[in-house]
């Protein structure tokens, strides 16, 4: 079995409404990538690793070095999914040339299949620039966390008619610019539905709509491994509880000298 490709992902849109929705999750580390990979079409090395892995207050302090290190680990830990790496804040917005320098470094150092960047109409020239130079780009519109200081928080977007139209325009602009897919995050359902119906590229929803061409979640969120879980996250497991139980059992056994037991110690040859 060969690894999926960006054109194969892109073609899932053309397969029409009967196509199976795309399955996408974030992965930041090699072991998690190995576990998620067989079940996913796309693994996203999201800049959400800033909060989830590094305890940062937002995605803004995430660096290219961090994205390259985690991107390479996820590529090493996967063989089936298309791996997409987020462009961190400050690494691409300045100009198409800056974006190309950053994105080509990410591609070369990680072996990923493409990059994702936030922004709609304003980023369209950059998306076109990269796409025409061998770098597949997934766009990200709606609630764009790197713009948190402009948005004033992480509340859902597009509740007013004006903003509804603006986000739909953003989605159309990135598709026209050559993005091979677009993440639509934290928007009222009708925006996601309209984008899915009107765009000729896959629309991947998060906090969006069940009608999207695919869904993405932060793996740690759906596994119950991260403290903050927004409304749009469904928890499929309580990994935090699982870890807590195991660590408590270990601590108890260390204190009672039940660990290590006979099976875990070495003996001299008789
Ligand atoms: O960084 C991230 O995890 C993301 C997804 C939530 C789409 O961008
Ligand atoms: Na992100």
Boundaries of every domain in the chain? 6-238
| Nearest CA, atom 2, ligand 1 | 46
**pLDDT tens digit string along 20-54?**
999 999 999 999 999 999 999 999 999 999 999 99
Dihedral, CA atoms, 213, 66, 115, 138, nearest 10 degrees?
40
184 CB under 6 A from ligand 1? no
CB 196, CB 172: distance < 8 Å: no
The residue-averaged pLDDT of 58-63 equals 98
* Ligand 1 center to 49 CA (angstroms): 9
Handedness of CA 85, 88, 94, 97 (dihedral sign): negative
The residue-averaged pLDDT of 92-121 equals 98
Over 90: is that where the pLDDT of 17 sits?
no
Residue 225: the pLDDT is 94
CATH architecture of 6-238: Alpha-Beta Barrel (3.20)
Q: Please say if 185 is a catalytic residue.
A: yes
pTM: 0.97
**pLDDT tens digit string along 119-158?**
999 999 999 999 999 999 999 999 999 999 999 999 999 9
C-alpha span between 217 and 201 (Å, rounded)? 19
Residues forming a β-bridge with 184: 141, 205
Active-site residue (options: 185, 189, 227, 253): 185
Residue 18: the pLDDT is 63
* Ligand 1 center to 183 CA (angstroms): 8
Over 70: is that where the pLDDT of 1 sits?
no
Residue 115: the pLDDT is 99
More confident residue, 190 or 1: 190
Best mutation site among 36, 44, 91, 219 for ligand 1, i.e. most ligand atoms within 8 A of its Cβ?
44
Residue of 104, 115, 116, 162 lying closest to 141 (CA atoms): 116
Best mutation site among 22, 45, 46, 146 for ligand 1, i.e. most ligand atoms within 8 A of its Cβ?
46
26 CB under 6 A from ligand 1? yes
């Amino acid at each position: 079995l060969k690894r999926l490709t960006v054109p194969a992902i892109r073609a899932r849109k053309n397969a029409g409404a009967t196509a199976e929705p795309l399955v996408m999750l974030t992965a930041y580390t090699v072991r998690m990538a190995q576990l998620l990979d067989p079940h996913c079409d796309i693994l996203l090395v999201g800049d959400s690793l800033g909060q989830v892995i590094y305890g940062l207050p937002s995605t803004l302090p995430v660096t290219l070095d961090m994205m390259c290190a985690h991107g390479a680990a996820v590529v090493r830990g996967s063989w089936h999914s298309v791996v997409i790496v987020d462009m961190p804040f400050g690494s691409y917005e300045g100009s198409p040339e800056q974006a190309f320098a950053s994105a080509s470094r990410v591609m070369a150092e990680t072996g990923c299949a493409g990059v994702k960047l936030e922004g709609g109409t304003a980023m369209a020239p950059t998306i076109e620039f990269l796409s025409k130079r061998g770098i597949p780009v997934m766009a990200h519109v709606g609630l764009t966390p790197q713009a948190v200081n402009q948005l004033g928080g992480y509340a859902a977007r597009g509740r007013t008619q004006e903003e509804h139209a603006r986000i739909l325009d953003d989605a159309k602009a990135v598709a026209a610019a050559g993005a091979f897919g677009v993440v639509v995050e934290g928007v009222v359902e009708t925006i996601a539905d309209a984008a899915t119906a009107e765009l000729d590229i896959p629309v991947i929803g998060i906090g969006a709509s069940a009608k999207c061409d695919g869904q993405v979640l932060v793996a740690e969120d759906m596994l119950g491994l991260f403290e903050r879980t927004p409304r749009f996250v469904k928890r499929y497991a309580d990994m935090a509880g699982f870890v807590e139980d195991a660590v408590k059992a270990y601590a108890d056994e260390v204190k009672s000298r039940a660990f290590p037991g006979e099976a875990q110690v070495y003996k001299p040859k008789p």
